[in-house]
């Protein structure tokens, strides 16, 4: 009977030791994964802001009634999209975006939600208007 108790105790110690090693690895994994997701989202937001600013410059230089329509996929953690004066900025819940400037005066709104957006950029007298619509 004593030998079985010793085997059971050794088994519990081995399982407990393995569990103690596993818990920090899981914590490190989730922390690293969250940091990576934040970096990917911020990179996506910066790329989209660049695309919008570039499209605004293109239609501005071609003049009214030039229009450009394109699709973008916004990250899920978009907090706000700011279009003001001559810049576009996309803020995320965990990251403040970098303003992307344009040569023209920009006006318009883009809804702040993750997913597919159809962006419409249109040249008007004195600037560019930017809007979006759901697909």
Give the pLDDT score at 9.
85
Backbone angles phi, psi at 33, to 5 degrees: -65, -40
Give the pLDDT score at 99.
85
Average confidence (pLDDT) per 10 residues, the chain, 135 residues: 73 88 90 89 91 93 92 91 90 85 90 91 92 74
Place of tokens 């809007």: 131
Give the pLDDT score at 2.
64
Query: How many structural domains are present in the chain?
Result: 1
**What residue numbers bound the domain in which 59 lies?**
2-133
129 HSE (CA, 13 A, CB side):
9
């Amino acid at each position: 009977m004593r030998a079985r108790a010793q085997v059971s105790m050794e088994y519990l110690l081995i399982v407990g030791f393995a569990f103690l090693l596993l818990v920090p690895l899981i914590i490190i994994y989730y922390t690293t994964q969250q940091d990576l997701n934040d970096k990917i989202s911020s990179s996506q937001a910066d790329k989209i802001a660049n695309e919008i600013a570039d499209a605004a410059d293109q239609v501005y230089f071609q003049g009214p009634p030039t229009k450009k329509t394109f699709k973008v996929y916004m990250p899920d953690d978009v907090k706000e999209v700011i279009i003001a004066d001559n810049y576009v900025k996309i803020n995320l819940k965990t990251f403040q975006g970098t303003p992307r400037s344009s040569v023209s005066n920009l006006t318009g709104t883009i809804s702040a939600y993750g997913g597919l957006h159809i962006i419409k950029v249109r040249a008007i007298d004195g600037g560019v208007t930017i809007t979006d619509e759901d697909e």
